[in-house]
Structure 1
Amino acid sequence: MKIIQFKDEPLAHYSYAIISNEQMAIVDPSRNVKQYYELAEAENAKITTIFETHPHADFVSGHLQIHRETGATIYVSKLVEANYPHKAFDDGDVLKLGIITFKAINSPGHSPDSITIIAEDDAKNYAMFSGDTLFIGDVGRPDLREKSGNMKSKREELAKSMYHTIKNKFNHLPDNTIVYPAHGAGSLCGKNMSDDASSTLGKERNENWAFKSITEAEFVDHILKDQPFIPSYFGFNVDLNKAGADSFELSSSKPSFQFQVNGFNENDALVIDVRNHDDYKKNHLNKSINIKAETEDDKFETWLGSIVKPKESFYVVLNSIKDRDDILNRIAKIGYEKQLKGMMTLAHATFESSEDFNLEAFKNDLDAYTIIDIRNKSEVEEGKFFESAIPIPLNELRDSKDKIPTNKPIVVHCAGGYRSAAGSSIIENMLDDVNVYDLGDDVSEFKD
């Protein structure tokens, strides 16, 4: 059984190709379908099969595009009620691909329509593609579909479903079954995932908290506690994936582009500046928000989809023309390319700048500042860096103007500096008569 794992680093998303007898199946594909085509060419394999374990919330799947361009059949649970061409794949359904037999297990918990794909070859090697049901060291969160996906499934009900899935659905599988999840550490689809890209079912049975001997009530209490925030784009992506996204190619998405602009006259427009924090602070368009996208370590997709609402139009300021295609692809991964009105680079003209921050003055008189802590609620509950700080999570900041006092200069902090750049730029946009500072990575000096 030949299995190739693909990783989308910013979203901590894993997808898979399984090859047998020059046929290829793909599990939970990302929107970048080119990588699967390149593999098929290299392996002289025909893409015949696409499995979707559930309608994903955190990224746009390329399943419909692959179907249209290769003729491959999409398999998904009938419970999804998918609006694209597909075949139902649920408990008891079997599919052969060369020497590999695929079986479906309905595994509700993360969503009511989740399935786990079991692969077995002639040598009795087993693999399970667990989607967002079983992660390495954790299980999928059950609270993402409560108000999304054109449906309401209460988190308590899904948490109970997850308990019964983990306790009952996989008992027939051997310990040496390889576990391949759809996400790893860094994804918002779970809370305590391992950095490991795969595991065995035996190891998870021994080490994963969800397999421990606990009651349903204890399981539900644990899984619902301290879950991360839900980005605003998650429900939008569930609906998009249930319908099937349009094919995306750079040539088919045509936001306007301006090179080395000297001015920008759309005063009410939302502008996202993806340059590094220092360049942004030195010179940026008025009312722009700084969400850095320099490397794959930057969680640009997540924060773009948390700060910008679905269907809200926006512009993007680039560092260089060289970044244009990459940023457009990253925007498309969460389905926001149709909201993008234009992209631009800045000329050497002088626009706006952020106030320089005097760290020593801040250290000497903390009470002279209003401190805004934009970390997530679960982070704040683990401990404050400043006792007087006002906690407002970054994803809620644009709607929180009335919660921010303006009688003192404002200092914004997060845990490491990435989010505080976005947060301070948002507050600068909202408040005109007060200085706003980004504590940045200097926050490390205030940690215990």
Structure 2
Amino acid sequence: MKIEQIYTGCLAQGAYYIESKGEVAIIDPLREVRPYMEKAEKNGARIKYIFETHFHADFVSGHLTLSRATGAPVIYGPTASPGFEAVIAGDGQEFRLGEITIVALHTPGHTMESTTYLLRDAKGRDHAIFSGDTLFLGDVGRPDLAQKAAHMTREELAGLLYDSLRNKIMPLRDEVIVYPGHGAGSACGKNMMKETVDTLGNQKKINYALRSDMTREEFIAEVTDGLLPPPQYFPHNVRMNKEGYADIDEVLARGARPLAPEAFEAMANETGAVVLDVRHQSDFEKGHIPRSVFIGIDGSFAPWAGALIMDTKQPILLITPEGREEEVVTRLSRVGFDHTLGYLEGSFEAWKAEGREYDTVNTIPAGELEKRAAAGEIPVFDVRKESEYENGHIHGAHLTPLDFINDHLDEFPKKEVFYVHCAGGYRSMIAASILKSRGIHNFADVSGGFGAIKETGIAISGEGGTPCSL
């Protein structure tokens, strides 16, 4: 028996390759499925099953492409109603894979069709669970994503999740290995651990949601507390996973087309495409196409693209580091953006070489911000998350989280110079690009973000709002 976790850090997502006696099961595959097929071929095995733990909201699964390529059936848990042919497993239904068995355990709560897959070894012993978004390490799946589809409140869904955990998962022996669908950084939960594999026994000790003395009411209150609104692209991804989508090869053929600067500009004007610049933030700062949006490929690229572009049908034109064009198109497709129209051949250097208009971002070091603050009160806008802000921020700074910056546009001064920062510089450069694309240019980005700011003498308010000097 072989179990391999295929973890994708930028999505904080775990897919799984399980093999026994030449037969393979894939759980929650990513959009690009060739690596699974190549792995099976190399091992002289065939893909027999494709298991989906639920209709994913934060990424587009590769289940349909993989099924078409291999003939393996797609399997969902009870109550699932996909718009394509699939096996809808009954609660407790068993699937034989070589010498092992995979059992579908219906665990509704995150969504109504959510299913945990229990793996029993060749001797019939419970060995591992693939818990999807039902159980994470340190947390459980948020119960608010399926409210409209299930016609239930988040409290009602949380109650179902409580029952699923207590009746289906917690009775399993402590030695059972937990393989979750996501890790720290995913928007599908709140307090996930950085580790991606653990034992159920350890989770019973440290996961707040698995306390043995926890009442149903306490669980509902704690699980629903502090939930931020989900990213707006989530419903689009659910629809694609449930109804179908184009194969990744089609998306790549259209999106990875080189366009000379003149053709690039013409297509941008004709289609209304978003010009997305994915180079490093320092490169974007020094020069970029006017009104282009920055989201760097080497940061949390796909989730930020999904959160900020919002409409997955929006046409997109790319400015990428040379040689990474297909990677960018692929990573956009993972979160449902299938309408990339091409990329700027020669990257930004080709645009600049032709003498075309370009823009820059005004930046200042943290030390300069300190000097200006000492000379009088200045408007500072912090684009980190609320939890980061509460743990320490510039005294008097305005909280305008990047996730919802479009909701705060009216708060930025129209003429007065203001200052923007995040933790280290990546998110504030995204914010800077959005502000400039909206015609707001009277600001400076603070280089190095809050990490650099803390090294100066600027007044900092810590947790609880007590001003202190760091």
Secondary structure of 2:169 counterpart: coil
Q: Which position in structure 1 is the counterpart of 2:145?
A: 144
Q: Does 2:280 correspond to 1:276?
A: yes
**Residues 357-401 of structure 1: per-residue CA shift (max 9 Å, x gap):** 254442123355321121223333x24512322222212223432
Q: Following superposition of structure 1 onto structure 2, how do residues 227-306 of structure 1 map, counting pairs within 5 Å?
A: 227-249=227-249, 253-255=253-255, 256-259=257-260, 264=265, 266=268, 269-293=273-297, 295=298, 298-306=299-307
Secondary structure of 1:49 counterpart: strand
Deviation at 1:229, TM superposition (A): 4.3
Deviation at 1:234, TM superposition (A): 0.9
CA distance in 1: counterparts of 2:316 and 2:38, whole angstroms: 33
Q: Which position in structure 2 is the counterpart of 1:209?
A: 208
Q: Which position in structure 1 is the counterpart of 2:378?
A: 369
Change in Cα spacing, 1:359 to 1:262, as seen in structure 2 (3 Å) is farther
Deviation at 1:78, TM superposition (A): 3.6
CA distance in 1: counterparts of 2:88 and 2:120, whole angstroms: 20
CA distance in 2: counterparts of 1:360 and 1:95, whole angstroms: 62
Secondary structure of 1:400 counterpart: helix
Q: Which position in structure 2 is the counterpart of 1:421?
A: 429
**Residues 302-349 of structure 1: per-residue CA shift (max 9 Å, x gap):** 0000110222222221121x01111111111111022x2332122134
**Residues 240-267 of structure 1: per-residue CA shift (max 9 Å, x gap):** 1111332211675313532456983546
CA distance in 2: counterparts of 1:184 and 1:251, whole angstroms: 28
Secondary structure of 1:35 counterpart: helix
- Contiguous gaps of at least 5 residues in structure 1: none
Change in Cα spacing, 1:226 to 1:378, as seen in structure 2 (3 Å) is farther
CA distance in 2: counterparts of 1:206 and 1:125, whole angstroms: 20
Q: Which position in structure 2 is the counterpart of 1:355?
A: 362
**Residues 192-243 of structure 1: per-residue CA shift (max 9 Å, x gap):** 1112221111111122111112222221221122234421111110111111
Q: Which position in structure 2 is the counterpart of 1:160?
A: 159
TM-score (norm 2): 0.88
CA distance in 1: counterparts of 2:90 and 2:132, whole angstroms: 14
Preserved contact between residue 48 and residue 72 of structure 2 (Cα < 8 Å):
yes
Structure 1 letter corresponding to 2:95: L
Preserved contact between residue 226 and residue 378 of structure 1 (Cα < 8 Å):
no
Change in Cα spacing, 1:391 to 1:146, as seen in structure 2 (3 Å) is farther
Secondary structure of 1:47 counterpart: strand
Q: Does 2:129 correspond to 1:128?
A: yes
CA distance in 2: counterparts of 1:285 and 1:262, whole angstroms: 14
Structure 2 letter corresponding to 1:102: I
Change in Cα spacing, 1:317 to 1:10, as seen in structure 2 (3 Å) is same
Preserved contact between residue 366 and residue 447 of structure 2 (Cα < 8 Å):
no
Secondary structure of 2:248 counterpart: coil
Q: Which position in structure 1 is the counterpart of 2:442?
A: 435
Secondary structure of 1:336 counterpart: coil
Preserved contact between residue 78 and residue 91 of structure 2 (Cα < 8 Å):
no
Preserved contact between residue 369 and residue 408 of structure 1 (Cα < 8 Å):
no
Preserved contact between residue 130 and residue 179 of structure 1 (Cα < 8 Å):
yes
Secondary structure of 1:169 counterpart: helix
Secondary structure of 1:412 counterpart: strand
**Residues 246-300 of structure 1: per-residue CA shift (max 9 Å, x gap):** 221167531353245698354664211101111111110111111111x3xx100
Deviation at 1:446, TM superposition (A): 3.0
Q: Does 2:400 correspond to 1:392?
A: yes
Q: Does 2:38 correspond to 1:51?
A: no
Query: What is the number of equivalent residue pairs in this alignment?
Result: 439
Structure 2 letter corresponding to 1:96: R
Q: Does 2:316 correspond to 1:314?
A: yes
Extract structure 1 runs of 4+ deviating beyond 6 A: none
Secondary structure of 2:50 counterpart: strand
CA distance in 2: counterparts of 1:360 and 1:206, whole angstroms: 46
Structure 2 letter corresponding to 1:357: I
TM-score (norm 1): 0.92
Same amino acid, percent of matched pairs? 35
Deviation at 1:163, TM superposition (A): 1.4
- Contiguous gaps of at least 5 residues in structure 2: 455-469
Structure 2 letter corresponding to 1:292: G
Change in Cα spacing, 1:261 to 1:327, as seen in structure 2 (3 Å) is farther
Preserved contact between residue 128 and residue 178 of structure 1 (Cα < 8 Å):
yes
**Residues 151-172 of structure 1: per-residue CA shift (max 9 Å, x gap):** 5442211111111122222244
Preserved contact between residue 229 and residue 376 of structure 1 (Cα < 8 Å):
no
Q: Following superposition of structure 1 onto structure 2, how do residues 57-72 of structure 1 map, counting pairs within 5 Å?
A: 57-72=57-72
Structure 1 letter corresponding to 2:180: P
Q: Does 2:404 correspond to 1:403?
A: no
Q: Which position in structure 2 is the counterpart of 1:444?
A: 451
Higher mean alpha-carbon deviation, 246-255 vs 181-190, is at 246-255
Structure 2 letter corresponding to 1:248: I
Deviation at 1:43, TM superposition (A): 1.2
Deviation at 1:414, TM superposition (A): 1.6
Secondary structure of 1:253 counterpart: helix
Q: Provide the aligned C-alpha RMSD in A.
A: 2.1
